[in-house]
């Protein structure tokens, strides 16, 4: 998960505390529940293809740098970590690409690690002439982690790009992310070239993970230890987004959401709908963030709109991008007026429909359209301020500011015209 997405999730969780303090809770059908989530799992994946024998990793071979880093990583593992080990390209198929592209092996199952046995297993590995089946290995690593609802992380360490596609590893990463199983893939490039860097960045971005590079054993050890610690600490402290499937057919059959953090997938040029029960006197705050996990044409936008169940627009915000960002967000606020002094209860709730729209185009040369791009949706309900109007179409009380600007502009124009005419008269008099 990238740093910017973490900040958004943290902000969403903070607003949930505000809701609880204000006593303004709303019925939540898809409310997140992580109380019984199992401990986080991490699968370390190491490339053993022939290029790992190159002697350019800080004065030693790449495989020696990786082995040294693995020993330090195992010694530093937190007690609560469930960790496994998988390798790829470990055989010696010669020129038999069909056989070489099937070579991936689990050296240690995901669980409480037997550190001694794992060190022995790693020490015994010798890169030969193997191929690099990254796409296949990612699928196998996902199977290693199981399909429970806990946090799952793959940490891939390689010095080269996939040499066996299909399956394309970036597309595999998108497919795994689209399954909604809380799977994140972090990638580490050991002395990477430009093509490797591009592919590893794509794999990580497709699942909300991170890509980093390392040039020696010390950097590699530090990076992996940080990722393992993050996997354990993050799972304990941050609520995992709840998978949800918005309706592409309108509000009528959209899922019902309460305050929380949700993730979904949205295809190019699609509209997805969600419903939020809102009490009079509450302010709805919602944002949608779309992750650009593949190349898209320049000039695109994301729009989030609040709509009544009979189709009237209540609030809207559009954020446009130029192609220089890996995330695009849009957010809105809408207050449902409170009538009288009576305290509203559940029977007074109104359905506010949220529509998330994207305007992305396929770039020249084409790109995979499925699965859709990742969407993170934050929903919150707080007590509305009497002095605060709804952010209708992104303006709200901004109409007042526009009126002031218009008045100032009119007066300035009149004054400028009078000054011009005054000096023109002076010249004619002379």
DSSP calls for 70-139: HHHHHHT--TT-EEEEEEES-S--TT-HHHHTT-EEEEEEEES--HHHHHHHHHT----S----HHHHHH
Lowest-pLDDT range, 17-26, 128-137, 171-180, 183-192?
Answer: 17-26
In a domain, 89, yes or no: yes
Q: Which domain holds residue 47?
A: 41-237
As a whole number of angstroms, the longest Cα–Cα distance in the chain is 103
Give the pLDDT of residue 249: 93
In a domain, 127, yes or no: yes
In a domain, 259, yes or no: yes
In a domain, 426, yes or no: no
Q: Is the pTM of this model over 0.85?
A: no
Cα–Cα distance, 55 to 62 (Å, whole number): 6
If we measure between CA atoms, which residue out of 184, 212, 166, 171 comes closest to residue 295?
171
Give the pLDDT of residue 37: 62
Cα–Cα distance, 171 to 157 (Å, whole number): 18
**pLDDT band of 420, cuts 50, 70, 90:** low
Residue 32 has pLDDT above 70, yes or no: no
* 271 and 195 share one domain: no
Give the pLDDT of residue 258: 92
In a domain, 219, yes or no: yes
Burial class from Cβ neighbours inside 10 Å (0-12, 13-18, 19+) for residue 92 reads: middle
The enclosing domain of 48 has a CATH number of 3.40.50.410
Write the secondary structure of 94-109 as one string of H (helix), E (strand) and C (coil). Answer: CCCHHHHCCCEEEEEE
Give the pLDDT of residue 275: 95
Q: Which residue has the higher pLDDT, 274 or 226?
A: 274
* 209 and 286 share one domain: no
Give the pLDDT confidence of 303-328 residue by residue, as tens digits.
999 999 888 899 888 877 665 556 78
* 60 and 203 share one domain: yes
Lowest-pLDDT range, 6-15, 205-214, 344-353, 373-382?
Answer: 6-15
* 261 and 276 share one domain: yes
Expressed in angstroms, the distance from the first to the final Cα of the chain is 75
> What is the number of domains present in the chain?
2
Q: Edge-to-edge strands of the sheet including 242-243?
A: 242-243, 260-266, 373-383, 282-291, 327-335
């Amino acid at each position: 998960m990238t740093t910017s997405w973490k900040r958004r999730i943290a902000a969403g969780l903070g607003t949930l505390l505000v809701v609880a303090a204000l006593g303004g809770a709303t019925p939540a059908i898809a409310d997140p529940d992580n109380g019984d989530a199992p401990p986080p799992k991490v699968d370390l994946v190491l490339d053993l293809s022939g290029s790992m024998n190159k002697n350019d990793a800080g004065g030693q071979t790449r495989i020696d740098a990786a082995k040294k880093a693995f020993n330090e990583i195992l010694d530093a593992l937190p007690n609560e970590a469930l960790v496994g080990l998988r390798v790829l390209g470990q055989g010696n198929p010669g020129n038999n690409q069909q056989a070489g592209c099937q070579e991936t092996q689990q050296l240690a199952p995901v669980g409480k690690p037997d550190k001694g046995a794992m060190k022995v297993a790693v020490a015994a590995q010798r890169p030969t002439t193997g191929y690099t089946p990254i796409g296949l290995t990612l699928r196998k690593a996902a199977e290693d982690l199981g399909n429970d609802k806990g946090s799952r992380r793959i940490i891939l360490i390689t010095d080269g790009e996939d040499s066996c596609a299909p399956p394309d590893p970036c597309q595999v990463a998108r497919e795994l992310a689209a399954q909604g199983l809380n799977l994140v893939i972090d990638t580490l490039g050991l002395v990477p070239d430009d093509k490797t860097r591009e592919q590893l960045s794509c794999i990580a971005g497709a699942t909300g993970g991170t890509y980093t590079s390392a040039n020696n054993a010390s950097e590699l050890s530090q990076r992996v230890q940080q990722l393992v610690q993050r996997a354990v600490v993050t799972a304990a402290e941050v609520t995992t987004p709840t998978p949800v499937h918005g309706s592409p057919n309108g509000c009528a059959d959209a899922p019902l959401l309460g305050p929380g953090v949700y993730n979904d997938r949205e295809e190019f040029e699609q509209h997805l709908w969600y419903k939020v029960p809102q009490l009079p006197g509450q302010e709805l705050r919602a944002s949608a963030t779309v992750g650009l996990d593949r190349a898209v044409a320049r000039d695109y936008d994301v729009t989030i709109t609040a709509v009544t169940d009979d189709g009237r627009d209540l609030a809207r915000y559009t954020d446009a991008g130029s192609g220089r960002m890996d995330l695009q967000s849009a957010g809105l606020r809408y207050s449902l007026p409170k009538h009288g002094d009576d305290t509203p209860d559940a029977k007074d709730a109104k359905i506010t429909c949220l529509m998330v729209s994207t305007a992305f185009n396929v770039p020249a040369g084409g790109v995979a359209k499925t699965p859709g791009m990742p969407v993170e949706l934050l929903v919150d309900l707080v007590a509305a301020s009497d002095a605060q109007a709804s952010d209708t179409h992104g303006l709200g009380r901004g109409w007042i500011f526009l009126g002031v600007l218009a008045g100032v502009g009119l007066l300035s124009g009149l004054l400028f015209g009078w000054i011009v005419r005054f000096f023109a008269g002076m010249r004619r008099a002379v």
